[in-house]
Amino acid sequence: MSKITVNNMNLWYTDFQALKNINMEINEHEITAFIGPSGCGKSTFLKSLNRMNDLVAGCRIEGDIRLDQEDIYASDYDVNMLRKRVGMVFQHPNPFPMSIYDNIAYGPRTHGIKDKKTLDEIVERSLKGAAIWEEVKDDLSKNALRISGGQQQRICIARALAVEPEVLLMDEPTSALDPISTAKIEDLVQDLKDRYTIVMVTHNMQQAARVSDKTAFFLTGETIEFGETTQIFSNPADKRTEDYVSGRFG
């Protein structure tokens, strides 16, 4: 079932058109990967899905993006609620300079949860959900900046999970990580799709092929091809997709 539906979407940064006539259905409980060469609009599109581009001066969007059929750009749409429902994990792990516990409790606290026992439960559940509980459970008061990059990224995923999102947007979540941490995040993402809808930008085509159900190939602001990942990689319909996935350009 479609969780996010995008119709005829265009986006401009002042007078530069970064996205052109995007149409896409992102299904619930699937992993959708965005691939394409640098500067083709993948991150811009990802950020449009929880209105992170609202913060960019000169950014203008036309068209329609719906979450569970509701227009997220409607003037009365609650953006704070949108960002709770559609969480985000960034390319470089960015834990807050505070304890592991406080990183995870931060979101729930801003949503008004104060009770210690409830927060303890959320912290444990989120860290377990991000497959890092065993590594940090005896060290929850440790500063989150004093753990490895791979652990920091799983803390950031746990922080996103703590507010119980429905969708997780991940912008190249493993590009700053070593192969072992990358493998852990890939396994984790596959486990998470039972409960969440996941949209992931990746520069790593093997990663897209390994973890995603659907793949969209972007080129100069357009989606050239969108479909089942196995089809995109083994039998692309468009010559440009074929050239890209076979490493002939990009």
Residues in contact with ligand ATP by the rule CB under 6 A? 13, 16, 18, 36, 38-44, 56
Pick between residue 56 and residue 81 the one whose CB is nearest to ligand ATP. Answer: 56
Total Cβ atoms within 10 A of residue 27 = 14
CB of 37 to ligand ATP, least distance (A): 7
Smallest distance from ligand ATP to CB 231, Å: 22
The smaller minimum CB distance to ligand ATP, of residues 18 and 82, is found at: 18
Closer residue to ligand ATP (CB): 222 or 242: 222
**Minimum distance between the CB of residue 241 and ligand ATP, rounded to whole angstroms?**
15
Closest CB 47 distance from ligand ATP, rounded Å = 8
Angle, CA of 91, 92 and 96, to the nearest 5°: 125
* 248 contact partners, CB below 8 Å, separation of at least 6: 242
Closer CB to ligand ATP, 119 or 232, in the complex: 232
Q: How far is the CB of 221 from ligand ATP (least distance, A)?
A: 7
Q: Which of 250, 219, 235 is nearest to 22 (CA)?
A: 219
In the complex, the smallest distance separating the C-beta of residue 104 from ligand ATP, rounded to whole angstroms, is: 28
**Closer residue to ligand ATP, CB minimum distance, 17 or 143:** 17
**C-beta closer to ligand ATP: residue 54 or 228:** 54
